[in-house]
Amino acid sequence: MTRAEPTMGELSARDHAFYGLIWAGTTLAAHVDRALMRAHELPLSWFEVMLWLNGQTEPVPASALGAKTLLSRPQVSRVVDALQARGLVARTPAPHDARSVEIALTPEGLAAFAEANATRRAALADVFDQRLDDADIDALETVWAKLKA
């Protein structure tokens, strides 16, 4: 029973947008992470690695995941360790570079990702579909594209 209801002081529209982005991002991440954990004992960080591995036809060097993912390169190493321990990904030495390691989803990993992705879509639908229309989705995509540059 909170007595006083704090509200942010007078802030500009840009300030609201900044805080809203961080709030929405972390809240969504937590929501999806819990859903994945409950359904498959699968942290969101593991899922993200599998997500990037999914679209690929050829194996991917670990450095590429470190660059594209939100995770740091060391963390990629540990996540791959865990996924490998569960047989979801395979580490293979790179053909012409003995220090590099190529990573690819195993068939089991591909199946696990398909299931996990389904639960992610479901968890996302709970929050997105009922509240955001196509215009909002488009706006989000364009904002993301502009920020990436």
Give the interface with DNA as residue ranges (CB under 7 A). 1-2, 43-45, 61-63, 66, 70-81, 91, 96-101
| Listed ranges 34-42, 79-87, 125-133: which one lies at the site for its own copies (CB under 8 A) | 125-133
Question: Which of DNA, its own copies, none does residue 41 bind to, with CB < 5 to 8 Å depending on kind?
Answer: none
Residues in contact with its own copies, counted by CB under 8 A, come to a total of 64
Contact 44, 36 (CB under 8 A): yes
Contact 74, 62 (CB under 8 A): no
| Listed ranges 35-43, 66-74, 82-90: which one lies at the site for its own copies (CB under 8 A) | 66-74
The helix (run of H) or strand (run of E) holding residue 108 is helix 107-127
- As a whole number of Å, the end-to-end CA separation of the chain is 45
| Listed ranges 35-43, 77-85, 134-142: which one lies at the site for its own copies (CB under 8 A) | 134-142
Task: Assess 122 for contact with its own copies (CB under 8 A).
Answer: no
